[in-house]
């Protein structure tokens, strides 16, 4: 965290008297917005005050968390517009005021049906996406210099997981 200029804040969280195993379960943090179920975090004042320094906070309910709303992910398109990715289950289960707030912040909200992944695997969209962060650099070729690579995150969607689960699920009679 220090190498990237971030402050590390540790915390404990629980849902239904079980420890939350990953931050993706109870929150996502975008460039100017953070959705979080702070009521699930023990001694949440430090977490909230840290987030409030740079983000607008949207509170998530336990019902939203159980439906993977904390498993959303912000990306940018080729024109640098902010887009929010999530499962259709998450999209349908955001509280009306929260989804309106998200629509006001993002140019697009994209969602897809991930029922197989969510019901069988227990994860959601962020479990299927790899984020790569790097600093821009120039690559020299024989006759030209390639354009600087983007400083924004590059996201690779690993749809292969969904295809494999869907294919074998049908083949084995699971779905």
pLDDT, tens only, 124-140: 887 777 766 655 544 45
Rounded to whole angstroms, the Cα distance separating 158 from 155 reads: 9
pLDDT at residue number 100? 97
**pTM of the complete model:** 0.73
Is the model more confident about 85 or about 153? 85
The pLDDT of residue 17 is above 80: yes
Rounded to whole angstroms, the Cα distance separating 10 from 39 reads: 15
The answer to whether the CB of 136 falls within 8 A of the CB of 148 is yes
């Amino acid at each position: 965290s220090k190498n990237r200029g971030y402050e590390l804040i540790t915390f404990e969280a629980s849902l239904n008297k079980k420890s939350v195993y990953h931050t993706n379960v109870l929150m996502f943090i975008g460039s100017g917005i953070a959705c979080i179920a702070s009521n699930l975090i023990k001694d949440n004042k430090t977490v909230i005050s840290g987030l409030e320094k740079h983000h607008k906070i949207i509170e998530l309910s336990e019902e939203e968390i159980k439906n993977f709303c904390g498993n959303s992910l912000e990306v940018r398109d080729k024109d640098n517009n902010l887009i929010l990715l999530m499962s259709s289950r998450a999209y349908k289960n955001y509280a009306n005021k929260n989804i309106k707030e998200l629509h006001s912040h993002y140019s697009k909200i994209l969602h897809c049906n991930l029922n197989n992944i969510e019901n069988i695997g227990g994860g959601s969209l962020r479990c299927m996406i790899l984020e790569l962060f790097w600093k821009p650099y120039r690559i020299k070729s024989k006759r030209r210099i390639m354009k600087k690579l983007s400083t924004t995150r590059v996201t690779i969607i690993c749809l292969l997981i969904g295809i494999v689960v869907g294919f074998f699920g049908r083949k084995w009679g699971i779905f």
